[in-house]
Amino acid sequence: MKYFDIQGTKVSRLGYGCMRFPVIDGDNSKIDEAKAAALLKRAINNGVNYIDTAYNYHGKMSESFVGKFVEENSLRDDVLLTTKLPAWLVEKTEDFERLMEEQLSNLRTDHIDFYLLHSLDIKTFRKIVDLGVFDFIKKAKASGKVRHMGFSFHDEFPAFEEMVNSFPWDFCQIQLNYLDVDYQAGQKGYELATKLGIPVVIMEPLKGGRLSNPPKEIRELSDEFKPLTPSQVALKYPLNLPNVMTVLSGMNAEEQVDENIEMASSVEPDSVTEKEKEFFSKAREFFKAKEQIGCTACEYCMPCTVEINIPKVFSLWNNAFIFDEEEKSKKAYADYLKDGKTAADACIACGKCEGLCPQNLEIIEGLKKAHDFLTEE
């Protein structure tokens, strides 16, 4: 296993994401503890020390399971416990400390090695700044309850630029893979953090597993890199970046643990070949060509006048074509409607969304086409 040095702490370049443990009876809140523990042990025994959980993972059961596992196996000195403060739940200044103390109790520890403000968009960020989050961070670090402080980002690049420049962060977390170079913070976010000397944690390196099982055309292109699997080819993209502290993967099978460890133990920074760069570029072109609408899920169009979840609808429409998920997308849209959400064909063509869209998309027409496709028998 290769490691990244951050302020004297050695961090494994593969992090174990604790959001996708095996579960019982399909219930996300019922972690199969025996299987999950075996997977964690396998990873830790092979050098993984960055264990990443969050307050809300697995129906709020992930932190408790991780804390129990670490305590029962006497691993506290061997692992770096990482969790995230649910910023969306903070309504008053006292909530910062209350939530942190609850998380310390869940994890059965007196300190959190890497602590993040979770899932920040610009609205939530500005709210918690007004509530004194920076004073909370300074106090938490001074007390020793938090060793390294960062944030997990879910918005567009201008918001990232504001956040990353607002405080002397120890690290930050963004989504990045060979497909999503322009999504949210993207490659520009990585480069800005690097310029500021802030190490980066990468989430969704496999785009929720989609790059592990890509369309036939991409699989044929990646066959050039055998014996590497599609997952390993995808992992190489962020592992190649010198300022990436760790790459998170939600591993729920032994073979996933093994193949990810193999890559994190072998990829050197700046080692991607010209041939591999060409593959990443061709893959992006292929996916872009299948995209139905260029929505980046920035949510500037939200809230919709009639409460259509525009980014959600467009994501399902795009995924049906990009990842050959027609059946899956149609089922997801049907479930969306069963939940009482507003159908895409309820659009009243007020034009508010199109006036706000930074991509200048034809949203009104797109919603009609998306609805017709997603409800087609």
Please return the burial class of 171, using the count of CB atoms within 10 Å of its CB with bins 0-12, 13-18 and 19+: buried
CA 115-181-17 angle, to 5 degrees, is: 35
Residue 287 lies in a domain: no
Distance CA 51, CA 42 (A): 13
pTM: 0.89
Boundary-marking domain end, from 273, 300, 320:
273
- Give the three-state DSSP class for 244: strand
Pairing of strands 244-249, 14-17: parallel
236 with 135, same domain: the answer is yes
Distance CA 44, CA 205 (A): 20
Pairing of strands 14-17, 50-52: parallel
Residue 292 lies in a domain: no
Q: What is the extent of the structural domain holding 129? A: 3-273
Q: For 164-188, write each residue's pLDDT tens digit.
A: 999 999 999 999 999 999 989 999 9
213 with 75, same domain: the answer is yes
Distance CA 219, CA 251 (A): 21
The residues of the chain scoring below 50 in pLDDT are none
218 with 75, same domain: the answer is yes
Q: What would the DSSP string read from start to end of 271-328?
A: ---HHHHHHHHHHHHHHHHH-SS------TTPSPTT---HHHHHHHHHHHHHSS-HHH
341 with 207, same domain: the answer is no
Residue 299's pLDDT is what?
A: 80
Across-strand partners of 50? 15, 80
Inter-residue contact 83 to 107 (CB < 8 Å): yes
Across-strand partners of 85? 117
Q: For 272-281, write each residue's pLDDT tens digit.
A: 999 999 999 9
Specify the number of domains making up the chain: 2
- Alpha helix stretches (DSSP H) within 165-309: 186-195, 216-222, 230-239, 254-264, 274-290
